[in-house]
């Protein structure tokens, strides 16, 4: 994991949007937002939209996995439980988010998302990898780990 100059990780609070600094050694200690006291990692994907996408992309030191989906998409709905599982099993080494392409067309368009579901892995604000189409858990987990993200100990 990348750390800022102070040895702390920057993470955006999914509840209030504040950027929080957490000592890297304390990331697995169930950190809470200093501002709103909400747990920073709830084991569920963060819901992003056009207004919050860039904040999470730019202000989080953690790798960010974004599932681009739409409510009318059958494969997206089938894939949703696996994205939920990814949040549960990879946090706090990875922040997992979902972005509804119908509700957030600007972010999806800027990234040229042409089919859904599409997952994109970002690191330090840059796209690291992209995969279109639903996949089984073993393939999703292996894909994430192939980009240097480790499963939480005990998973």
Catalytic residues: 73, 76
Distance CA 94, CA 144 (A): 9
**In the Cβ-directed half-sphere of 35, how many Cα atoms lie within 13 Å?**
12
* Torsion angles phi and psi, residue 68, rounded to 5: -90, 120
Distance CA 41, CA 129 (A): 23
SS3 16: coil
DSSP per residue, 104-151: -HHHHHHTT--SSSEEEEEETTEEEEEEES---HHHHHHHHHTTTPPP
């Amino acid at each position: 994991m990348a750390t800022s100059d102070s040895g702390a990780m920057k993470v955006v609070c999914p509840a209030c949007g504040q950027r929080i600094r957490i000592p890297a050694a304390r990331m697995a200690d169930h950190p809470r937002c200093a501002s709103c006291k909400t747990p920073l990692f709830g084991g569920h994907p963060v819901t992003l939209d056009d207004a919050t996408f860039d904040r999470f992309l730019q202000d989080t030191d953690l790798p960010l996995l974004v599932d681009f989906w739409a409510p009318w998409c059958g494969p997206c709905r089938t894939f949703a439980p696996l994205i939920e599982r990814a949040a549960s099993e990879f946090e706090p080494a990875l922040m997992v988010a979902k972005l509804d392409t119908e509700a957030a067309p600007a972010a999806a368009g800027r990234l040229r998302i042409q089919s859904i579901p599409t997952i994109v892995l970002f690191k330090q604000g840059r796209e690291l990898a992209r995969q279109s189409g639903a996949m089984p858990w073993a393939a999703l987990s292996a894909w994430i780990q192939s980009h240097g993200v480790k499963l939480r100990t005990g998973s």
